[in-house]
């Protein structure tokens, strides 16, 4: 466990907070120490696809860094700076969503940088932000979900407004909203369509410990439910039946309990404590006000 923090570590954590990080990437805790100077400020981050040698691009106030490490075994090792380009040498970024399509960063004085983003949504947001930063000197606000959907399907031949695509986007955005995201393939939007009702809109998703199967709690515009992936068996209650949620910090594991007015409970253990507290706070705000907390709204 790392002790203390630096501007580089803190800003990297913020930049990673809205990106997709698969468990298989084995993201090193000391990534900032290997790739950055302690005083660096990370403005943008883009993780690549999870394979045996994952890559990441970090944009700081001084430079754009391409890093890579080995993700074989139980721990990451061999973090290296593959390339660094001065910030003033960056001309912009381009990303066209599609299968095995890479994001390209234009370098004025040499060969371009490229990476295959972990998700199309990450690539779209990063390309927009970096291109704006390179041309205006400022990081823009995050793209609204509707803008991301339009960009994702701008060159496709199917409608981004279909009920299926709306359901997929809402579920994935609920996964992406947690501050410390450790995502997993089993609960992405493809399988989720088997759990959701036609036209159902996902608001919150909390993942339990990942093993042979992954347990989850989800809140939608119609109900709260607990399920296990893979598989389709769920336990659910109508949204109007929810009284609130509590976070129990246990000796061996932390637990989130969603309580109903009739005394029934949905329970999920083996969770990340930060994500568990965030889920409880967001669900209680939703029950009390009918809306998610303001800080989560950009992801919806």
pLDDT of residue 24: 64
Question: Which token pair is 179?
Answer: 């501050």
Give residue 142's pLDDT. Answer: 84
Q: What is the DSSP string of 197-242?
A: PTT--EEEEEEEEESSSEEEEEEESSEEEEEEESS--EEEEEGGGE
* Mean residue pLDDT across the chain: 81
Q: Determine contact, residues 256/224, Cβ cutoff 8 Å.
A: no
Q: Which fold has domain 7-145?
A: PH-domain like (2.30.29)
pLDDT at residue 215 in the model: 83
Tokens in use for 219?
């809140």
Least confident of 107-116, 140-149, 175-184: 175-184
Is 163-299 in the same CATH topology as 7-145? yes
CB 271 within 8 A of CB 280: no
Residue 137 has pLDDT above 70, yes or no: yes
Q: Which residue ranges make up each domain of the chain?
A: 7-145, 163-299
Highest mean pLDDT among 142-146, 176-180, 192-196, 217-221 belongs to 217-221
Burial of 53 (0-12, 13-18, 19+ CB in 10 A): exposed
* Higher per-residue confidence, 299 vs 193: 193
Least confident of 74-78, 88-92, 105-109, 256-260: 74-78
The three-point CA angle 38-42-46 to 5° equals 130
Whether the per-residue pLDDT at 232 is higher than 60: the answer is: yes
Is it the case that residue 259 has pLDDT exceeding 90? yes
Q: Is 195 helix (H, G, I), strand (E, B) or coil?
A: coil
- Is residue 169 very low, low, confident or very high in pLDDT (cuts 50, 70, 90)? low
* Domain 163-299 falls under CATH 2.120.10.70: no
Q: Maximum CA pair distance of the chain?
A: 67
pLDDT at 189 over 80: no
**21-63: per-residue pLDDT in tens?**
766 677 888 899 999 999 999 999 999 887 788 899 999 999 9
């Amino acid at each position: 466990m790392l002790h203390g923090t630096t501007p580089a570590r803190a800003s990297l954590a913020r930049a990673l907070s809205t990106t997709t990080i698969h468990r298989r990437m084995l993201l090193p805790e000391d990534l900032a120490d290997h790739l950055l100077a302690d005083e660096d400020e990370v403005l943008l981050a883009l993780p690549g696809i999870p394979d045996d040698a994952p890559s990441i691009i970090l944009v700081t106030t001084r430079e754009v860094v391409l890093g890579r490490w080995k993700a074989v075994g139980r721990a990451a090792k061999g973090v290296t700076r593959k390339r660094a380009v001065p910030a003033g040498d960056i001309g912009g970024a381009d990303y066209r969503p599609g299968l095995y399509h890479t994001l390209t960063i234009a370098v004025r004085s040499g060969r371009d940088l490229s990476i295959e983003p972990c998700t199309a949504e990450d690539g779209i947001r990063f390309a927009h932000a970096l291109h704006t930063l390179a041309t205006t000197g400022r990081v823009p606000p995050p793209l609204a979900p509707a803008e991301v959907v339009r960009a994702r399907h701008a060159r496709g031949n199917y409608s981004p407004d279909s009920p299926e695509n709306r359901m997929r986007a809402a579920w994935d955005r609920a996964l992406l909203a947690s501050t410390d995201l450790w995502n997993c393939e089993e609960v992405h939007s493809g399988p989720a369509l088997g759990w959701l009702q036609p036209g159902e809109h996902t608001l919150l998703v909390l993942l339990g410990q990942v093993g042979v199967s992954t347990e989850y709690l989800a809140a939608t515009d119609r109900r709260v439910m607990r399920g296990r992936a893979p598989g389709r068996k769920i336990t659910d209650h109508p949204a109007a039946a929810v009284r609130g949620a509590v976070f129990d910090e246990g000796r061996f594991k932390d637990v989130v309990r969603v309580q109903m007015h009739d005394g029934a409970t949905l329970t999920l253990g083996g969770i990340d404590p930060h994500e568990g507290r965030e889920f409880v706070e967001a669900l209680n705000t939703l029950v009390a006000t009918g809306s998610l907390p303001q800080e989560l709204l950009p992801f919806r």
